[in-house]
Amino acid sequence: MFSFQPYGQQWRDRRRAFWQEFNPEHGRINHRPVQLQYARDLIRRLYESPLDFDIHARHMIAAAILTITYGLDIQEKGDPNIAMADKALKHLDVAFIGTYMVDVLPFLRNLPRWMPGAGFQTTGESSRHDLRLMVELPYAKARKLLQEGRGESSFIHRALSRRHITDGGKEERDIMETAATAYLGASETSLFSVVLFFAAMAQNPDVQAKAQQELDQHLDHRLPDFDDQPHLPYTFAVMLETLRWQPIAPLGVPHSLVSDDEYKGYYLPNGSIVFYNIWAILRDEAMFPEPDTFNPSRFLKDGEINTQLRDRVMTTFGFGRRICPGRYYALDGLWISMVSILSVFTIGKATNGCGHPIDIDLEYTADLNSLLPFVVLEVITFGVIVISVALLFGIGTVILVHLTYTYRSKRSQFAHDFVYIGVS
Ligand code: HEM
């Protein structure tokens, strides 16, 4: 998959195919309707079982990207395509950059596999099968759909027809692998940002109320869609602040220099590995005063989005020619889920056995990769929280969110408390 490939012709071919699909103009026409459909579906699912909110968010994200990429019909529950992709993704979580120092210190590849810490070698072998399935099986299903005259609104169809590819060969393999990269890139990143949005709303009821006021005034008792975006600057600012406040990849993805370079007088030879610190960039007090405060209003100037600050937040998607090519898709998905949720639900902190709100304990470590699995651990019944399983996983991000959902038009009938823990 090209996100793991070094710079070169194959990476360029695959990246071009990806961008032809995920550029913003194309996304507006081909992706937004699907994202809207699954954001609405999320609302229904949240209404039916709010305690399963992480499962619903996962489903929304996975179903949208699989529909767009392969044209598959996603099942209401327990979809086998999602299950298979998630299984493969888990392997990548384990092997992904930052988890094993081998990515940063390649000489570790030569360690014998019995040595402590060299487990990445065996993980690599056992995961190969699942990863191959993830790449090949949905693709085969998409091809079958096309033979039956269906699935013509998929990336696979568009990419194959653009290049007049019929069967086999390198070009078809490029399309197949590029398609799998879409699921890989979209799933954990998007889930993390939706979860952080929940946490931000529960912690900042004033912000939430202001966003809902903007929605209520503009929408007048209907659900939002993408045409409403220009009329909702404050909710757009809430999204930017969510991405700024807790960047999901605080140290981005390391880049390897392809030529000698210099930075502030430091000589950096070709092949050096360079990390960028998104966390620090988005907490630069000169641009973002009181950076720990969740304050969407910082993005508004005369009622409009301040484009200079918006562009600074886009650094959360990386830099240069490796910048995230799914960024416009990601923004659309996050925005439409946020506004759909806020127009129907109010998110609040859970209360303990005595009825007092439980503080949200949001810890975020400067790990290289926070795009790792989430676990719902426990429903709070007596204000008792168990996080030991989370801590067993050791390093990384622990997100602990206690939330109350209130269905906005039936507040008294619909309140649930739960604890949600994400671990990496
Ligand atoms: C909030 C959501 C997301 C964030 C914060 C994010 C962030 C990032 C970052 C930091 C990188 C590395 C950039 C660099 O090397 O400088 C990256 C790469 C990538 N992202 Fe995203 N991403 C998000 C969503 C998505 C989505 C939805 C997709 C797919 C539709 C996607 C696909 C990719 C791909 C394919 C790459 C590898 C690019 C390459 O190596 O050329 N991402 N992303």
Q: For the segment 261-320, what is each residue's pLDDT rounded down to a tens digit?
A: 888 888 889 888 888 889 899 999 999 999 999 999 999 999 999 999 999 999 999 988
User: Does the pLDDT at position 395 exceed 60?
Assistant: no
Give the per-residue pLDDT at 103.
52
Count other Cβ atoms within 10 Å, centred on residue 404: 21
What backbone torsions phi and psi does residue 289 show, to the nearest 5 degrees?
A: -55, 150
* 248 in contact with ligand 1, CB cutoff 6 A: yes
Asked whether the beta carbons of 255 and 274 are under 8 A apart, the reply is yes
Burial of 232 (0-12, 13-18, 19+ CB in 10 A): buried
How would you classify residue 302: left for phi > 0, otherwise alpha for psi between -120 and 50, otherwise beta? left
What separation in Å is there between the alpha carbon of 360 and the centre of ligand 1? 28
Ligand 1 near 185 CB (within 6 A): yes
Is 186 a pocket residue for ligand 1 (Cβ < 6 Å)?
yes
Q: Say how many residues make up the chain.
A: 424
Burial of 94 (0-12, 13-18, 19+ CB in 10 A): middle
Contacts of 387 (CB under 8 A, 6+ apart): 377, 398, 400, 421
* Cβ count within 10 A of residue 54: 20
Separation of CA 385 and ligand 1 centre (Å): 33
Separation of CA 295 and ligand 1 centre (Å): 25
Q: How much is the average pLDDT of 340-349?
A: 90
Q: Is 242 in the pocket of ligand 1 (CB under 6 A)?
A: no
Name the strand (E) or helix (H) holding 417: strand 415-423
Task: Yes or no: say if 414 and 406 are a contact pair by the CB < 8 Å rule.
Answer: yes
Coil, helix or strand for 268? Answer: strand
> Do 94 and 123 touch, CB atoms closer than 8 A?
yes
Distance, CA of 379 to CA of 161 (rounded, Å): 49
Distance CA 348, CA 358 (A): 10
Lowest mean pLDDT among 59-63, 76-80, 224-228, 388-392: 388-392
Ligand 1 mean position to 134 CA, how many Å?
19
What pLDDT, on the 0 to 100 scale, is given for residue 271? 85
Cβ of 318 below 6 Å from ligand 1: yes
Contact present, 335 and 227 (Cβ < 8 Å) = no
Grouping H, G, I as helix, E, B as strand and the rest as coil, residue 360 is coil
CA 388/CA 265 separation, integer angstroms: 46
Say which DSSP state 97 is in.
B
Q: Ligand 1 mean position to 326 CA, how many Å?
A: 6
49 alpha carbon – ligand 1 mean position (Å): 31
pLDDT tens digits, 186-239: 988 899 899 889 889 989 999 999 999 999 999 988 999 999 999 999 999 999
Computed on alpha carbons and rounded to an integer, the radius of gyration of the chain in Å comes to 22
Burial of 52 (0-12, 13-18, 19+ CB in 10 A): middle
CA angle 11, 186, 225 (to 5 degrees): 125
Q: Is 251 in the pocket of ligand 1 (CB under 6 A)?
A: no
Does ligand 1 lie within 6 Å of residue 189's CB atom? Answer: yes
The confidence score (pLDDT) of residue 98 equals: 42
Q: Which atom of ligand 1 is nearest to the CA of 333?
A: 27
Q: Measured from the CB, is residue 27 less than 6 Å from ligand 1?
A: no
Contacts of 361 (CB under 8 A, 6+ apart): 400
Q: 324: Cβ below 6 Å to ligand 1? A: yes
